[in-house]
Amino acid sequence: MSTSPSLLIAGCGDVGTRLGLRLAAGGWTVHGLRRAVEKLPAAILPVAGDLQADACPPNWPAGELDYLVYCAAATEHDEAGYRGAYVEGLRRVLGWLAQHGQIPKRLLFVSSSGVYGQQTGEWVDESSLAEATGFSGRIMLEAEQLALHSASAASVVRLTGIYGPGRKWLLGQVQQGYKVASEPPLYGNRIHVDDAAGLLAFLLQADARGVVLDDCYIGVDDEPAPLHEVVAWLRGQLGVSHWAEQSSVRRAGSKRCSNARARALGWVPQYPSYREGYAAVLAAP
């Protein structure tokens, strides 16, 4: 591409902003669509808009848009909230693109590993059956299909549990002394928020160089780990010695997600496991 690529990030929150800053630093023209555009850094061109409203944002980017990243987050965690954020929101953005005669070269749809229903610690990759039992995973699969059948070439990026600055739920649980069942081990999958943004940037830059992308990637670090192991490590780091009286924390599902496909393309996570990632979180002021 002779000129620097242009990108619209729809639902430009934490991950989207980190992605936008990376690409803007590389000379890309980055537009960020969100309701509260005053939260966007200066390097990202603001597009004030609501993915839940039918009206196209008045300052929709003019001219060609080379790429679209759709990374909305549901604010209401019921079925209607998920459908509004992921299916209807994406449908609106695709409609606004069509209204302006814009067909991005590629669409990245940020999805979730919640589309997988595996629960017994088995390894999961992009070719594994995605048969979510809950409404959130089923709706995400529906949104993925909408993306994959849009006018643009598309890839879905199934992110696992995002953690990092400001995302301290597990740290809070550990500090309260909560116990976690160790048998059977409850495998969890994580990706540091900077690695989530980094993977999206990596895929866009690869596409811009002419690399042929697959239609699906899992965003996860190198080391899915049992939750009790992560909690034990965090207890050591935080100096927590007491246990809460409440029963142990349980979570649904147990699977191990593989990042082999993204790694085969050349992506390397900055934080290969929870240890490096949480060490960085704990070291931050």
Tokens of 151: 């006018």
* pLDDT: which is higher, 81 or 179: 81
pLDDT of amino acid 67: 98
Q: Nearest-CA neighbor of 11 among 114, 99, 78, 92? A: 92
pLDDT of amino acid 6: 98
Instruction: Name the residue type at position 66.
Output: D
Domains and CATH numbers, the chain: 6-283 (3.40.50.720)
As a whole number of angstroms, the distance between CA 163 and CA 173 comes to: 14
As a whole number of angstroms, the distance between CA 208 and CA 106 comes to: 9
Assign 3 a pLDDT band (cuts: 50, 70, 90): confident
Report whether pLDDT(107) > 50. yes
Tokens 């949104």 sit on residue: 143
User: Poorest-confidence range of 3-12, 114-123, 246-255, 275-284?
Assistant: 246-255
> Can you tell me the mean pLDDT for 41-48?
98
pLDDT of amino acid 285: 81
pLDDT of amino acid 247: 60
As a whole number of angstroms, the distance between CA 110 and CA 158 comes to: 6
pLDDT of amino acid 179: 86
Q: Angle at Cα 120 formed by Cα 119 and Cα 125, nearest 5°? A: 75
* Beta-bridge partners for 110: 157
> Can you tell me the mean pLDDT for 75-97?
96
Tokens of 114: 């919640």
Angle, nearest 10°, between helix axes 274-283 and 227-238?
30
Tokens of 83: 């459908």
- Read off the pTM: 0.96
Which residues have C-beta within 8 Å of that of residue 48, sequence separation ≥ 6? 33, 34, 35, 37, 57, 58, 59
Q: Give the chain's mean pLDDT.
A: 94
Assign 1 a pLDDT band (cuts: 50, 70, 90): very low
Which bin fits 102, alpha (ψ -120 to 50), beta or left (φ > 0)?
A: beta
Are 86 and 92 within 8 A, CB to CB? Answer: no
pLDDT in tens, 122-178: 999 999 999 988 999 999 999 999 999 999 999 999 999 999 999 988 999 999 998
As a whole number of angstroms, the distance between CA 215 and CA 139 comes to: 18
pLDDT in tens, 17-43: 999 999 999 999 999 999 999 999 999
At 9, is the secondary structure helix, strand, or coil?
Answer: strand
As a whole number of angstroms, the distance between CA 266 and CA 211 comes to: 11
pLDDT of amino acid 201: 98
Tokens 């943004």 sit on residue: 197
Question: Considering just the CA atoms, what is the radius of gyration of the chain in Å?
Answer: 19
Are 188 and 238 within 8 A, CB to CB? Answer: no
pLDDT above 70 covers what percent of the chain? 97
pLDDT of amino acid 252: 64
Q: Strands 122-124 and 153-159: what pairing? A: unpaired
